């Protein structure tokens, strides 16, 4: 199966299972200031959903070495996000930066074509 087809199927599957406007974590269990802010602000929530979707797609298609690096980078980014607390501008900037990275990795992966 070609990489673009795999990516399209993964996007469709993830989109079909995700409830609308739901963060990548359960908002009813959010305790940290950053999580509460994400749940309270739809644009942040949308960024969180996109980030989580792109992360899951990349996790599924990258080779093992790439998966480990992806997870390490994500954990570091989550620590960075937590330092924003409830600061919406800081959280927005953090998400925009992470999404730029994930979009770039996914774009480069898709350009490689079928293997």
Query: 84 and 91 in contact (C-beta within 8 Å)?
Result: yes
Distance CA 73, CA 102 (A): 10
Supply 77's token pair.
């980014």
pTM: 0.77
pLDDT band at 9 (very low <50, low <70, confident <90, very high): very low
Supply 97's token pair.
């930066």
**H/E segment holding residue 66:** helix 64-82
Q: Per-residue pLDDT tens for 57-106?
A: 999 888 878 888 999 999 999 999 999 999 999 999 999 999 999 999 88
Is 42 buried (19+), middle (13-18) or exposed (0-12) by CB count in 10 A?
exposed
Say yes or no to pLDDT of 25 above 80. Answer: yes
pLDDT score, position 8: 52
Return the higher-pLDDT residue of 46 and 109: 46
Q: Print burial letters for 15-29: b (CB count within 10 Å at least 16), e (below 16).
A: eeeeeeeebbeeeee
Query: 32 and 82 in contact (C-beta within 8 Å)?
Result: yes
Tokens 């980014």 label which residue? 77
Distance CA 12, CA 111 (A): 20
């Amino acid at each position: 199966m070609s990489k673009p087809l795999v990516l399209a199927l993964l996007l469709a599957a993830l989109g079909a299972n995700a409830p609308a406007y739901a963060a990548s974590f359960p908002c009813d269990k959010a305790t940290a200031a950053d999580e509460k802010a994400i749940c309270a602000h739809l644009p942040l929530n949308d960024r969180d959903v996109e980030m989580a979707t792109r992360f899951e797609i990349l996790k599924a298609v990258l080779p093992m070495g790439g998966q480990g690096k992806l997870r390490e980078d994500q954990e570091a980014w989550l620590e960075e996000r937590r330092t924003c607390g409830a600061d919406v501008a800081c959280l927005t900037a953090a998400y925009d930066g992470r999404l730029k990275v994930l979009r770039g990795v996914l774009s480069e992966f898709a350009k490689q074509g079928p293997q």
